[in-house]
């Protein structure tokens, strides 16, 4: 008989064994992911306190590693966020799946994983502890030197120092060592910071790279966006588990007030109708519902199709204006058009899709559409082809309908925001093709593409007109002058005639000046040549 | 001051909140993933006991769900594997990250997640408990009815019954309910089973679908492949964490024998050289190494570049013969060529790449190459574009070099096997582009493509020859006969002449018969028409 032994492993151990799934697959990607996770924690820590974020990222070489192309780096990220209470610091940074309490609102992190994974990766590649310094702005600054006990999923504290906080400093500094490849990840890191700055114009980001080069993305506005509100769950999409947890914690004594108090979009009338559908008395005690009653309640909620759409106040879109400004800064396009869709929902979670289409300018001429994907105001730079946006752009939209040639300078910027982004992996790089999200993307992109089509038609018309004009502008005025001389009159006004040909005075002047300049250049060149 | 509260969540809670990352994003994919996870557990349970697997999958509708296109299904999977000891049953199926002890060998599962995730998904969509029945073939059969306490990550046992095992039955039966969409997943499920049968010709798979249709994939051979051996870790790729665990559990009293006994490919000479490089005495006590000594040891291993490649006995490839038979069964191609690469390694893990290229037959004529991806003998059907194979086929290989037209009936079957497949997500659908794996794929695919090129050139030649032949076959014999008559001799033997034109006697006969048939058909048609 084959003997099989079983064991239970800690979540830290699980992610240690499977770090590819969290985006730590090689020294180059791991550096990118580490910076990304820490910057996002910092943004959240500032935003929650309505503080305009100042984030300083410093990367320096500490020693040559033995594998090809990699070295040991020191990574230090400092922010001015709300800081972490001293009793939580070790666990928050050295325990996997320990994080700030889960709320029903938009935030950047997957629950309590990213920052700790960065430290864990550093620890297993360098065997060095990490340093965390934090203050909430009170009298003390706390400094911890720690490692992660991976088997136990617990912090191992090497040192804890307390400093007087004389300058009332507030924020968090994380410093650790990791085996990394900066050459292989530099382009992505800079792109990440640039795009993060665009989606977060209230943030100031400074990156000092190992050669001492500074990349500074100053804030464009001091206006910190309203932080997304924490809201009650919407009944649609609440599953048995979530319902059981709400029931167990109910402060209400009867089901009617339980439903009204614990869900959004549920008034007394709705609550009554749902309970009737479920066959549950209105005065039933929420803590004493039977297993079958819970099942009936969930079924009734699914059958009841009169709920209003989820409250979008828990999402925080970029907004048409900022998105448009961002795209202009990023790509200097000739043309840009932005669409913000009204809030929609999937599985009870509200979400908003924003899309910007841009043409020409600094956009490279390539086959297919250049994609710039954002989710909850963070750029997604890897695994593009696994993302729902790629699917929509390449499989659902026929770009020839919109006069977009196969090879052209077209960029599409998409932003999806939601209290719960359905990422396909812990690395948070690709969004799943939930049908509701796919649908909103299709609508938004089509609307934007129609505007691009109009613009492209105008360009085409104008180009045809300019071609004509090159001929008319040369000869018409001469003909007019000569004709005038023949009959001994002032030359006739040909503006109207040109107007009918689709040429306005401004364009006429420009074209004439251009022709003049061309002649001059020709002449000058000839003179010099002689 | 903003108050932030923290909490720690269990791994079950983490995966409950983030089920998209484990492949449970919608009712159709969740059904596919559930079947897949349970079938793979069953295959492993049989293989470990060298038992030819019999797996029976039954899916039936239990009730209409309220969401569109979905229903409540009952899923039952029965196998004849080695079974699970009664004391482990509840935890093995109702605790996340609890599984059979991690070993350094090839297996299908991610650690202790898949099967439990299927039950968890069923529980939160239906609020019904799952039933697990298992016996190791001894005197008793154990039946558990249970649910998962998601907050605590513990089983909640509703019922435990013990039956006499009079017929000495051995195996495991799992039965549970889930909200699912069979219509949307049917094609993928059948494809999955079909391809699993191809890669596991010693397995018998029976699937009974909700309409009572039976899909039976009988075993083709009784020969169970040698189960991959559990081996010692290779020193290259062992990180600090793994080293610390080995040191802590060392039974050896000195470092020299520690290295020799705990790693593969390390003899006394190698061990001595490594220790010298690390500056660690040979007789140092493994349990008393300092933090810095561990770091030096890891560094020395990375610097020491004379280790032999990892021992491939812990991987179990399909083999050229079986792969070729499988491809022929699956696609009935005109041409097939199979390449098995020698074992290679990444981060200390051995792996083997096998590739088969096929042309014509039942392969649909499409733009680009049809991909059939396998990893550790399981088919990967989702997220193709995120996979390293897709990258290699579409970005690294220029198919025009191999005379493969853009639109053609070409299929590529790839199999990667390793004790540790670097999946990009917990859903196990796409493999990361580790440089070593990418390189092996490029070499294997190029070799296969060269053979395809030769075949395609032959076809081309033959077609040109047949075109010529159509003319020669008509006139040459007549000319020969006439010429013979003129000089009153037997017609000369023109076989040699035809031979020089690349036409053998068989082809000549075939072509002549074909021409004859064409004439007959023409004649018959004409007659009928009149």
Q: Are A351 and A345 in contact (CB under 8 A)?
A: yes
Question: What is the rounded distance in angstroms from the CA atom of residue B358 to the CA atom of residue B335?
Answer: 5
Name the one residue in this structure whose structure tokens are 């004409």: B526
pLDDT at A177: 97
Asked whether residue B136 falls in the same domain as residue B284, the answer is: no
* CA quadruple B174, B176, B178, B184: dihedral sign: positive
CB-nearest to A4 from B18, B100, B110 is B100
**Contact between chains at B7 and A101 (C-beta distance less than 8 A):** yes
CA A164-A169-A172 angle, 5° bins: 105
Q: How far is CA A445 from CA A61, A422, A434, in A?
A: 44, 20, 17
Does the predicted TM-score (pTM) go above 0.80? yes
- Of A257, A272, A303, the last residue of a domain is A303
Q: Are A203 and A51 in contact (CB under 8 A)?
A: no
- The helix (H) or strand (E) run that includes residue A73 is strand A71-79
For B297, the closest chain A residue by CA position comes to: A127
Task: Kindly report the nearest CA distance between residue A421 and chain B, in angstroms.
Answer: 10
In tens, the pLDDT along B212-227 reads: 999 999 998 888 877 7
Asked whether residue A213 falls in the same domain as residue A119, the answer is: yes
Does residue B1 lie in a domain region? no
pLDDT at A522: 60
**Contact between chains at A14 and B97 (C-beta distance less than 8 A):** yes
CATH of the domain at B75: 3.30.565.10
* CA quadruple B210, B216, B217, B222: dihedral sign: positive
Instruction: Return left, alpha or beta for B250; rule: phi > 0 is left, psi -120 to 50 is alpha, else beta.
Output: beta
Tokens matching residue B301:
């291993």
Could you report the predicted ipTM of this complex, rounded to two decimals?
0.80
Residue B113 binned pLDDT confidence (cut-offs 50, 70, 90): confident
Name the one residue in this structure whose structure tokens are 């013979």: B484
In tens, the pLDDT along A321-330 reads: 889 988 998 8
Number of domains in chain B: 4
Asked whether residue A418 falls in the same domain as residue A386, the answer is: yes
Residue B492 binned pLDDT confidence (cut-offs 50, 70, 90): low
Q: What is the DSSP letter of B230?
A: P
Name the one residue in this structure whose structure tokens are 């956009």: A363
User: Does A51 lie at the interface with B, CB-CB under 8 angstroms?
Assistant: no
Does residue A487 lie in a domain region? yes
CB-nearest to B110 from A18, A302, A434 is A18
- The helix (H) or strand (E) run that includes residue B513 is helix B505-529
Residues of B within 8 A of A439 (CB-CB) are none
Question: What is the rounded distance in angstroms from the CA atom of residue B185 to the CA atom of residue B28?
Answer: 5
Does residue A275 lie in a domain region? yes
Question: What is the rounded distance in angstroms from the CA atom of residue A323 to the CA atom of residue A417?
Answer: 13
Does residue A3 lie in a domain region? no
Question: What is the rounded distance in angstroms from the CA atom of residue B90 to the CA atom of residue B143?
Answer: 10
Question: What is the rounded distance in angstroms from the CA atom of residue A366 to the CA atom of residue A406?
Answer: 8
pLDDT at B359: 96
CB-nearest to A423 from B20, B125, B151 is B20
What part of A 205-264 touches B (C-beta under 8 Å)? 239-241, 245
pLDDT at A527: 42
Tokens matching residue B272:
């001595």
Rg value, chain A, Cα = 30
User: Does B2 lie at the interface with A, CB-CB under 8 angstroms?
Assistant: yes
Phi then psi dihedrals of residue B497, to 5 deg: -60, -50
pLDDT at B102: 47
Residues 6+ apart with CB under 8 A from A166: none
For A386, the closest chain B residue by CA position comes to: B386
User: Does A152 lie at the interface with B, CB-CB under 8 angstroms?
Assistant: no
For A236, the closest chain B residue by CA position comes to: B67
Helices (H), B332-400: 388-391
Name the one residue in this structure whose structure tokens are 């060529």: B337
pLDDT at A335: 96
Does residue B465 lie in a domain region? yes
| Chain B interface mutation, best of A239, A244, A289, A303, highest count of B Cβ atoms under 10 Å | A239
Question: What is the rounded distance in angstroms from the CA atom of residue A426 to the CA atom of residue A17?
Answer: 14
What part of B 274-303 touches A (C-beta under 8 Å)? 291, 294-295, 298-299, 302-303
Asked whether residue A416 falls in the same domain as residue A504, the answer is: no
CATH of the domain at A253: 1.10.8.50
pLDDT at B528: 42
Tell me which residue range forms the domain holding A204: 11-217
What part of B 354-373 touches A (C-beta under 8 Å)? none
Question: What is the rounded distance in angstroms from the CA atom of residue B340 to the CA atom of residue B321?
Answer: 10
The pLDDT tens digits along chain A (530 residues) read 667 777 888 989 888 888 888 888 788 999 999 999 999 999 989 988 889 999 999 999 987 765 667 899 999 999 999 999 999 999 999 998 887 764 555 666 656 788 999 999 999 999 999 999 999 999 999 999 999 999 999 999 999 999 999 999 999 999 999 999 999 999 999 999 999 998 898 999 999 999 999 999 999 888 887 777 778 888 987 889 989 999 999 999 999 999 999 999 999 999 999 999 999 999 999 999 999 999 999 999 988 988 988 888 888 898 898 899 889 988 899 999 999 999 888 877 889 999 999 999 999 998 889 999 999 999 999 888 889 999 999 999 999 999 998 899 999 999 999 988 988 887 888 998 888 899 999 999 999 999 999 999 988 887 777 777 666 666 666 666 666 666 666 666 666 666 666 666 777 777 777 776 766 666 554 444 43
Does residue A5 lie in a domain region? no
Most confident stretch, B54-58, B263-267, B474-478, B518-522:
B54-58
**Contact between chains at B82 and A2 (C-beta distance less than 8 A):** yes
Residues of A within 8 A of B434 (CB-CB) are 25-26
Neighbour-count burial for A4-13, b at 16+ CB within 10 Å, e otherwise: bebeebbbbb
In tens, the pLDDT along A67-116 reads: 667 899 999 999 999 999 999 999 999 998 887 764 555 666 656 788 99
Q: Are A87 and A98 in contact (CB under 8 A)?
A: no
Asked whether residue A319 falls in the same domain as residue A182, the answer is: no
Asked whether residue B337 falls in the same domain as residue B387, the answer is: yes
Name the one residue in this structure whose structure tokens are 């191609």: B333
- The helix (H) or strand (E) run that includes residue B246 is helix B240-248
In tens, the pLDDT along B273-289 reads: 999 999 999 999 999 99
Residues 6+ apart with CB under 8 A from B445: B355, B357, B392, B393, B397, B412, B414
Does residue A247 lie in a domain region? yes
Phi then psi dihedrals of residue B4, to 5 deg: -120, 130
Residues 6+ apart with CB under 8 A from A325: A201, A220
**Contact between chains at B302 and A88 (C-beta distance less than 8 A):** no
pLDDT at B436: 86
Residues of A within 8 A of B1 (CB-CB) are 82, 136-137
CATH of the domain at B377: 3.30.230.10
Phi then psi dihedrals of residue B379, to 5 deg: -75, 145
Question: What is the rounded distance in angstroms from the CA atom of residue A83 to the CA atom of residue A304?
Answer: 44
User: Does B439 lie at the interface with A, CB-CB under 8 angstroms?
Assistant: no
Residues of B within 8 A of A22 (CB-CB) are none
Phi then psi dihedrals of residue B515, to 5 deg: -65, -40
Across the strands, what pairs with B171? B135
Task: Kindly report the nearest CA distance between residue A217 and chain B, in angstroms.
Answer: 27
User: Does A100 lie at the interface with B, CB-CB under 8 angstroms?
Assistant: yes
Asked whether residue A418 falls in the same domain as residue A476, the answer is: no
| Chain A interface mutation, best of B109, B148, B239, B438, highest count of A Cβ atoms under 10 Å | B239
Strands (E) across A209-347 are located at 214-217, 335-340, 344-346
Asked whether residue B44 falls in the same domain as residue B186, the answer is: yes
**Mean pLDDT (whole number) for B462-474:** 71
Residues of A within 8 A of B125 (CB-CB) are 239-240
pLDDT at A426: 79
For A435, the closest chain B residue by CA position comes to: B26
DSSP helix/strand/coil, B330: helix
Say how many C-beta atoms besides its own lie within 10 A of residue A99's C-beta. 25
- The closest of B285, B287, B365, B357 to B327, measured between CA atoms, is B357
Q: Are A193 and A218 in contact (CB under 8 A)?
A: no
- Of A280, A303, A326, the last residue of a domain is A303
Q: Is the pLDDT of residue B469 over 70?
A: no
Alpha carbon of residue A168 to chain centroid: 32
Question: What is the rounded distance in angstroms from the CA atom of residue A368 to the CA atom of residue A388?
Answer: 16
pLDDT at A214: 96
CB-nearest to B101 from A5, A17, A422 is A5
Which pairing describes strands B71-79 and A335-340: parallel, antiparallel, or unpaired? Answer: unpaired
- The closest of B326, B77, B57 to B215, measured between CA atoms, is B57
Neighbour-count burial for A472-505, b at 16+ CB within 10 Å, e otherwise: bbeebeeebeeeeeeeeeeeeebeeebeeeebee
**Contact between chains at A49 and B8 (C-beta distance less than 8 A):** no
Higher pLDDT pick, A308 / B528? A308
Does residue A223 lie in a domain region? no
Asked whether residue B428 falls in the same domain as residue B514, the answer is: no
Residues of A within 8 A of B84 (CB-CB) are 4
Asked whether residue B211 falls in the same domain as residue B68, the answer is: yes
What part of B 52-91 touches A (C-beta under 8 Å)? 65-67, 82, 84-85, 88, 91
| Chain A interface mutation, best of B113, B294, B368, B424, highest count of A Cβ atoms under 10 Å | B424
pLDDT at A491: 62
- The closest of A21, A22, A254 to A119, measured between CA atoms, is A22
Q: Are A351 and A417 in contact (CB under 8 A)?
A: yes
Asked whether residue B56 falls in the same domain as residue B190, the answer is: yes
**Contact between chains at B424 and A426 (C-beta distance less than 8 A):** no
**Contact between chains at A6 and B101 (C-beta distance less than 8 A):** yes
- Of B450, B466, B498, the last residue of a domain is B450
Residues 6+ apart with CB under 8 A from B399: B369, B406, B449
Asked whether residue B61 falls in the same domain as residue B116, the answer is: yes
């Amino acid at each position: 008989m084959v003997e099989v032994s079983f064991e239970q492993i800690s979540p830290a151990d699980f992610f240690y064994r499977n770090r590819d799934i969290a985006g730590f697959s090689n020294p180059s990607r791991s550096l990118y992911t580490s910076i990304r996770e820490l910057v996002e924690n910092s943004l959240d820590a500032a935003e929650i306190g309505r503080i305009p974020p100042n984030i300083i990222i410093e990367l320096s070489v500490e020693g040559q590693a033995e594998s090809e192309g990699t070295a040991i780096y020191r990574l230090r990220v400092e922010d001015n966020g709300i800081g972490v209470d001293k009793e939580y610091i070790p666990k928050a940074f050295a325990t996997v799946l320990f994080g700030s309490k889960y709320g029903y609102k938009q935030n950047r992190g997957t629950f309590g994983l990213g920052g700790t994974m960065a430290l864990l990766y550093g620890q297993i590649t360098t065997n060095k502890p990490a340093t965390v310094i934090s203050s909430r702005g009170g009298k003390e600054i706390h400094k911890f030197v720690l490692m992660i006990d991976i088997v136990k999923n617990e912090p191992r504290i090497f040192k804890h120092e307390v400093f007087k906080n004389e300058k009332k400093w507030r924020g968090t500094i994380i410093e650790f060592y990791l085996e990394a490849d900066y050459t292989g990840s530099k382009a992505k890191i800079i792109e990440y910071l640039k795009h993060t700055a665009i989606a977060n114009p209230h943030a100031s980001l400074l990156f000092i790279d190992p050669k001492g080069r500074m990349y500074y993305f100053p804030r464009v506005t001091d206006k910190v966006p309203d932080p997304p509100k924490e809201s009650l769950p919407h009944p649609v999409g609440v599953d048995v588990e979530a319902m059981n947890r709400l029931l167990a914690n109910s402060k209400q004594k009867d089901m009617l007030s339980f439903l009204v108090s614990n869900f959004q979009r549920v008034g007394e009338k709705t609550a009554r109708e749902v309970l009737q559908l479920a066959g549950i008395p209105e005065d039933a005690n929420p803590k004493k519902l039977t297993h079958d009653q819970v099942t009936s309640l969930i079924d009734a909620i699914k059958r009841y199709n009169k709920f209003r759409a989820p409250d979008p106040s828990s999402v925080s879109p970029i907004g048409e204006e900022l998105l448009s400004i961002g795209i202009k800064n990023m790509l200097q396009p000739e043309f840009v058009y932005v669409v913000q869709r009204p809030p929609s929902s999937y599985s009870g979670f509200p979400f908003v899709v924003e899309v910007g289409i841009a043409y020409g300018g600094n956009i490279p001429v390539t086959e297919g559409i250049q994609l710039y994907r954002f989710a909850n105001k963070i750029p997604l730079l890897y695994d593009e082809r696994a993302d729902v946006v790629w699917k929509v752009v390449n499989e659902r939209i026929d770009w020839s309908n919109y006069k977009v040639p196969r090879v052209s300078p077209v960029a599409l910027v998409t932003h999806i925001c939601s209290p719960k982004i359905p990422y396909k992996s812990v690395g948070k790089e690709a969004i799943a093709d939930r049908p509701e999200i796919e649908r909103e993307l299709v609508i938004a992109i089509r609307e934007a593409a129609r505007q691009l089509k109009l613009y492209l038609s105008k360009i085409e018309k104008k180009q045809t007109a300019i071609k004509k004009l090159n001929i008319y502008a040369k000869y018409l005025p001469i003909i007019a002058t000569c004709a005038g001389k023949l009959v001994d009159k002032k030359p006739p006004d040909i503006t109207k005639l040109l107007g009918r040909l689709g040429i306005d005075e401004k364009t006429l002047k420009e074209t004439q000046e251009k022709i003049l300049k061309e002649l001059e250049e020709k002449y000058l060149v000839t003179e010099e040549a002689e």
